[in-house]
Amino acid sequence: MKDLLKLLDLSGADIGKILDLADQLKFDAKNGIAQKPLAGKTLAMIFEKNSTRTRVSFETGIYQLGGQGIFLSGTDSQIGRGEPVQDTARVLSRYCDGIMIRTFAQETVEKLAYYADIPVINGLTDFAHPCQVLADLMTIREKFSRLDGLKICYIGDGNNMANSIIVGGLKCNMSVSVACPVGFDPHPGVIAFAGDYAGFKLTRDIREAASGADVVFTDVWASMGQENERELRKSAFSGYCVDGELMKLTNNAMVQHCLPAHRGEEITEEVFEAHASEIFDEAENRLHAQKAVMALTMGNIS
C-alpha cells in the first residue's frame, strides 16, 4: 500500500489486513512487546485544521514504532503563505519517510500524493476521514468478533464521516443505512458507489435508519470549516439526534462517535455517557489502526 487517501481506493481485503495488523499491534503494545518497524523514520504531519486525537495518536504512534513525528501547522509553515502543494510534496520527500495531512479539499491530498515519492496518509479532509473509520471498524469488530452481516446506521450530516462509513461499511459486507436532512446528503460519488450495494439505504427518517441497527454512528452538525453555518445547520438538523427513544429501535446497538461531540445536538448526554466506553475505545483505536497504516505504508511490512 503506497498511500491512504480514501477508503474508496482500498478493497475489503486491504481493510481486513490493516485491521488484523492493528489488532496485533494493540496486543503487542498491551503486552509490552515493542515493534519498531519505523526505527529512524520521520512522519511530517501537516495540520490545516484543528486536532486533538489525530495529532496525538499519530505522534504517539510513530514514536512507538521507533520513528519521529514532525508537526507542521498550516499557519506557521510556508503552506499557509501559499507555497504550492506540489513543491511541498517534493521538498518533504527529500527529508521524510511519510506525510500525514489534515486539510480541506480532497484534491489537495490527492495532489500531494501524486507529487510525493513517500506515502501520504489522509488525516481528514472535507470528503473523507479514512483513519477514523478504520479505527471504528476495528472497534466494532472487537465487540462483535465480525463485521460481515452487521447493520450500521449513520444519523446526521452527509459529511466526511458519513462518506467514509458508507464506503468502509459496505466494503466490509455490512449493511449501511444513512439518515440525512434534504440538502445534506453524502457526496454524490459515494452515493453512486453505494448504489451498487443492496445493503445501502439513504432516508430522511432517523427511525427507519436506526431500526434494527447493531451500530449507531453520528457526528457534528457543523464540521470544521462550516462554523459560519452553525445557526442555519442547527435548524436544518433539528430532530437528527441520537437519543434514548431512537436507541430503543435498535438491536441494542453500540454507539460510535469520532469526537468531538456536541451533547444536546447530534447526541444526548444520556446516550453519550451510556456508551462512553465504546466511544473512548474507538478513540483509543485511532492509535492502533494508524500504527498499522504507517507500518504498511512506510515500513517494510507487506
Which of ligand CP, ligand NVA, none does residue 219 bind (CB under 5 to 8 Å by kind)? ligand NVA
Q: Work out what residue 52 binds among ligand CP, ligand NVA, none; the CB cut-off runs from 5 to 8 Å by kind.
A: ligand CP
Burial code of 208-225, b = ≥16 C-beta within 10 A, e = fewer? ebbeebbbbbbbbbbbbe
- Which of ligand CP, ligand NVA, none binds 159 (CB below 5-8 Å, type-dependent)? ligand NVA
Q: Which of 121, 178, 258, 271 binds ligand CP (CB under 6 A)?
A: 258
φ/ψ of 203, rounded to 5, equals: -140, 165
Span interacting with ligand NVA, options 23-31, 174-182, 219-227, 238-246, rule CB under 6 A: 219-227
The one segment of 49-57, 90-98, 105-113, 186-194 that binds ligand CP by CB under 6 A:
49-57
Q: Does 288 bind ligand CP (CB under 6 A)?
A: no
CB of 160 closer than 8 Å to CB of 129: yes
**Annotation marks residue 68 as catalytic:** no
Only segment of 113-121, 145-153, 218-226, 287-295 that touches ligand NVA (CB under 6 A):
218-226
Q: Residue 205 and residue 182: Cα distance in Å, rounded?
A: 11
- Please pick, from the candidates 122, 139, 159, 164, the single residue that binds ligand NVA as defined by CB under 6 A: 159
Q: Is 52 a binder of ligand CP (CB under 6 A)?
A: yes
Given 4, 41, 54, 210, the residue binding ligand CP (CB under 6 A):
54
Instruction: Answer for the pair 226, 251: CB distance below 8 angstroms, yes or no.
Output: no
What is the rounded end-to-end Cα distance, in angstroms, of the chain? 8
Q: Does 223 bind ligand NVA (CB under 6 A)?
A: yes
**Active-site residue (options: 102, 141, 257, 275):** 102
Rule CB under 6 A: say whether 161 interacts with ligand NVA. Answer: yes
Instruction: Count the Cβ atoms, other than its own, within 10 Å of residue 112.
Output: 24
- Contact flag: residue 133 with ligand NVA (CB under 6 A): no
Spatial contact of 221 and 156, defined as CB atoms under 8 Å apart = yes
Among the options 55, 141, 286, 288, which is catalytic? 286
* Cα-to-chain-centroid distance, residue 40: 27
Q: Does 45 bind ligand CP (CB under 6 A)?
A: no
Q: Which of residues 245-274 bind ligand NVA (CB under 6 A)?
A: 258
Binding segment for ligand NVA (CB under 6 A), chosen from 105-113, 207-215, 217-225, 245-253, is 217-225
Residues forming the site for ligand CP (CB under 6 A): 51-54, 124, 132, 258-259
What are the catalytic residues?
102, 129, 132, 219, 258, 286
